[in-house]
Amino acid sequence: MTVSAKALGIDRLNLDDRLALVEEIWASICADSGGFSLTEAQRAELDRRVGEDEAFPDDVIPWEDIKALVRAR
């Protein structure tokens, strides 16, 4: 079986359920993150982003606001 949204029936889910599924899939990927290694460029980019986040902790958009923006489209 080919893994695709259509083959798995994901395309029939409503938007809220698809977003919840994406969050669950992403969480499972993070839980298994030890299974792959990063290149030096990827590690440097992540370090840069973490540093930027630490330097400007209030310069963020809450996840709920992002979801609301996406749903409004």
Backbone angles phi, psi at 46, to 5 degrees: -65, -45
| Structural domain containing residue 49 | 38-73
Q: What is the pLDDT of residue 6?
A: 92
Q: Mark whether 63 and 46 lie in a shared domain.
A: yes
Q: Mark whether 49 and 61 lie in a shared domain.
A: yes
Give the number of domains in the chain.
2
Q: Mark whether 31 and 55 lie in a shared domain.
A: no
Q: What is the pLDDT of residue 52?
A: 94
Q: What is the pLDDT of residue 31?
A: 87
Q: Mark whether 42 and 61 lie in a shared domain.
A: yes
Tokens of 51: 């540093």
Q: DSSP 3-state assignment of 43?
A: helix
| Confidence (pTM) | 0.49
Residue 19 burial (CB count, 10 A): 14
Q: Mark whether 10 and 22 lie in a shared domain.
A: yes
Q: DSSP 3-state assignment of 54?
A: helix
Would you give per-residue pLDDT tens digits along the chain (73 residues)? 688 999 999 999 999 999 999 999 999 988 887 777 889 999 999 999 999 999 999 998 999 999 999 999 9
Q: What is the pLDDT of residue 17?
A: 96
Q: Mark whether 46 and 73 lie in a shared domain.
A: yes
